[in-house]
Amino acid sequence: MIVAGLFAVGVLPWGTGGPSSPYLTFSGAASNAQSASGSVAGGPWYVSIVISLLSRSSILEPTQNVSGFLTDSNCSYDWPHGEPANLAVPATPTSAGAGSSAYWVVGLKNQSNGLLLETISDGSASALVTIHAGYCAEVAGYLVQFPSASVDSPSVVASVNAAGGGSFLINHPNATQLWGAVGGISLGVLGATTPEWYVEYTSCTFPAISGETGAFFNATVAGLTGEVISNHTGTTACTLGPPGGFTDAAFPPSSPAAARQAI
């Protein structure tokens, strides 16, 4: 639950974007993060998880939310460039291409089940924190690398919008968009699951306001085909936690067999 936990405390935010664009698609963000990871000890690192929060207004969060969560989870961690006081999440304007975001967090895994979180802010990658040992290493052990055939975020967003997400955005033009994807979950001798995306549009503010109720549209999308597996619309109490569908898909129970049932 390490990346979900960082999302829950409001630290991890959520194309035609290429290396020169400040608004990147999944493929652009993953490529930038992969290249930047070469300068971080412990590699080689491989992209296995991405999260983005797309907001029309900027967000500022204290970095102590990250360190506090990691400490509570008994994980060891290091800040390659020192711990910053805050994380600044830039706004993504409506002019950005569908499936593009100004801010991504890319999780990369190494052969020792360590995790490296790279932030991609306005097109620039920077190593945020390396995480290893304890429960964090156990979670990382389930994650697998994104296959080269993974669909890009513009295709994912197009499918979600065609399934009802577009109508939701028309009715809620300032909605917050939450995107998350995993390369797959290892099932041991059974192999691994295929990539999966979870997308949620919500009228809730981020971070959430206590007692706030908002409308939502969410969808689960197959990461190799871009096909919408399921979608839902409704109202809910706004919370500080990550979107439930993404949490269920990305973070398995204690055994590979149970993980297969969860997926």
The continuous run of DSSP H or E covering 60 comes out as strand 59-62
Q: Give the residue-averaged pLDDT of 1-12.
A: 42
| pLDDT, tens digit, 9 for 90 and up, residues 27-70 | 999 999 999 999 999 989 999 999 998 998 888 877 777 788 88
Mean pLDDT of 99-115: 95
Using N-to-C axis directions, what is the helix angle for 153-160 and 26-36, rounded to 10°? 150
What does the domain layout of the chain look like in residue ranges? 2-262
Cis bond leading into 44, ω under 30°?
yes
Q: What is the pTM of this model?
A: 0.82
Q: What is the pLDDT of residue 20?
A: 59
Q: What is the pLDDT of residues 252-263, one digit of tens each?
A: 333 333 332 322
